[in-house]
Copies of this chain bind each other. A is one copy, B any other.
Amino acid sequence: MGIRGRPRSEASHHAVLDAAAKLLEQERCSYQDLTVERIAAEAGVGKQTIYRWWKNKAGVVLEALLTGRLKLDFEPVPNTGDLRADLMSWLDSEITRAGGEDTAVMARSLMAALVTGGEETRALLNGGIVWEGMAVAERLRAEQEAGGLREGVDPSMVAATIMDPFIIRLITVGSPDPEWMRAQLDMVLTGILPRD
Q: Which residues of A does B touch, CB under 8 Å? A: 31-32, 83-84, 108, 111-112, 114-116, 119, 122, 125, 127, 129, 148-151, 153-154, 157-158, 160-161, 164-165, 167-169, 171-174, 180, 183-184, 187-195
* Assembly CA distance A68 to B194 (angstroms): 35
Chain A to chain B contacts (Cβ below 8 Å), 29 pairs? A114-B171, A115-B115, A115-B171, A122-B172, A125-B173, A127-B173, A129-B169, A148-B193, A149-B193, A149-B194, A150-B191, A154-B183, A154-B187, A157-B183, A157-B184, A157-B187, A158-B187, A158-B192, A160-B184, A161-B184, A164-B165, A164-B167, A164-B168, A188-B192, A189-B191, A189-B192, A189-B193, A190-B191, A195-B195
CB pair B122 A115 closer than 8 Å? no
Contact of A172 with B112 at beta-carbon distance under 8 Å, contacts A153-B192, A184-B161 already known: no
Chain B residues within an 8 Å CB radius of A31: 115
The secondary structure that dominates the A interface is helix
Bound-state Cα–Cα, A164 to B157, Å: 13
State in angstroms the CA–CA spacing of A111 and B164 once bound together.
14
Residue of B nearest to A194 (CB): B150
